[in-house]
């Protein structure tokens, strides 16, 4: 098999159908840019959501009076609940100190006494930091003897769950639409190339050329389109990320940070798009192009 011939024929599409090739490469580039940016935003949004989830904690207020003997018993029962990762005891004095740090006033100066009850800060395991799991744990905490009341940021968790699910669904739908569009245009470009060479293809079949030998140049053409689209999109995404990093600066620059391997993934995705689009066309239209010449 003449590899040089196959490669030359594969890149000859740039001369034969420049406009359709450029449109195909442009579409792959734009699709990968949008898909890459969606991925960056989705990944970093997930990181922000997870950081917000990490800040969500429950607080179980204890019935008074609390003795040195009763608090360890309550602690063991709290830790026995599925999903509870850690608990931290907060005495009345510590609660007053926290109040002063947050509000700048000593609670004793306001009310002449300390009304803040002792409590346990309850930290959840990672897989339980969602609205449904937190609701179950909340109900179990309320049933622990010695616990008077339990509070947590229920509304925040419910909001995070809804927004995360909505954003994930929208990102998936947009990504699939972009990929399908890119594959369709690559396939269409290859189909035009096959139609333009239909007589040559028929002649090659008559002289005994194998199906693989006829198809490979068109597959190479699709791969070239995909590689170029991947290269162009990687370059554009790199420039966007660098510009965004300079704008945000400091700690916020981490929000748009992209690992070098991400660009390899973009290039690989572009190559696969070109390969898939070309395979679809050659499987469907090589035989048809021969039939049209008869």
Q: Residue 236's pLDDT band (boundaries 50, 70, 90)?
A: very high
Which of residues 235 and 16 earns the better pLDDT score? Answer: 235
pTM above 0.85, yes or no: no
Residue 55, pLDDT > 70, answer yes
Name the least confident of 81-95, 211-225, 255-269.
Answer: 211-225
Q: What is the 3-state secondary structure (H, E, C) of the chain?
A: CCHHHHHHHHHCHHHHCHHHHHHHHHHHHHHHHHHHHHHHHHHHHHHHHHHHHHHCCEEEEECCCCCCCHHHHHHHHHHCCCCEEEEEEECHHHHHHHHHHHHCCCHHHHHCCCCCCCEEEEEECHHHCCHHHHHHHHHHHHCCCCEEEEECCHHHHHHHHHHHHHHHHHHHHHHHHHHHHHHHHHHHHHHHHHHHCHHHHHHHHHCCCCHHHHHHHHHHHHHHHHHHHHHHHHHHHHHHHHHHHHHHCHHHHHHHCCCHHHHHHHHHHHHHHHHHHHHHHHHHHHHHHHHHHC
Q: Residue 289's pLDDT band (boundaries 50, 70, 90)?
A: very low
Q: Residue 173's pLDDT band (boundaries 50, 70, 90)?
A: confident
Predicted confidence (pLDDT) per residue in 94-122, tens digit? 888 888 888 888 777 777 777 888 899 99
Domains of the chain: 3-51+159-293 (no CATH), 57-152 (3.30.70.3040)
Query: How confident is the model at residue 16, as a pLDDT?
Result: 64
């Amino acid at each position: 098999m003449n590899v040089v011939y196959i490669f030359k024929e594969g890149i000859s599409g740039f001369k034969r159908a420049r406009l359709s090739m450029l449109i195909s490469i442009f579409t792959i580039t734009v699709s990968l840019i949008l898909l890459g940016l969606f991925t960056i935003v989705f990944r970093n949004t997930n990181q922000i959501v997870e950081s917000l989830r990490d800040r969500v904690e429950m607080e179980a207020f204890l019935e008074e009076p609390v003795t040195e003997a009763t608090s360890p018993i309550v602690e063991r029962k709290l830790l026995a609940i599925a999903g509870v990762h850690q608990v931290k005891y907060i005495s009345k004095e510590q609660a007053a100190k926290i109040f002063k740090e947050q509000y700048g006033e000593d609670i004793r100066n306001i009310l002449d006494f300390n009304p803040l009850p002792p409590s346990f800060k309850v930290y959840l395991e990672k897989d339980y930091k969602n609205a449904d799991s937190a609701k179950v744990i909340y109900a179990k905490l309320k049933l622990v003897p010695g616990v008077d009341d339990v509070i947590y940021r229920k509304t925040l968790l419910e909001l995070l769950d809804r927004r995360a699910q909505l954003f994930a669904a929208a990102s998936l739908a947009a990504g699939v639409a972009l990929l399908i569009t890119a594959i369709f245009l690559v396939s269409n470009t290859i189909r035009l190339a096959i139609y333009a060479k239909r007589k040559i293809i028929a002649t090659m079949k008559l002289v005994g050329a194998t199906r693989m030998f006829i198809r490979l140049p068109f597959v190479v053409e699709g791969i070239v389109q995909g590689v170029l689209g991947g290269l162009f999109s990687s370059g554009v995404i790199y420039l966007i990320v660098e510009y965004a990093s300079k704008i945000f600066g400091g700690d916020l620059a981490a929000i748009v940070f992209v690992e070098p391997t991400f660009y390899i993934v973009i290039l690989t995705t572009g190559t696969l798009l070109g390969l898939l689009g070309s395979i679809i066309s050659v499987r469907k239209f090589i035989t048809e192009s021969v039939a049209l010449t008869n």
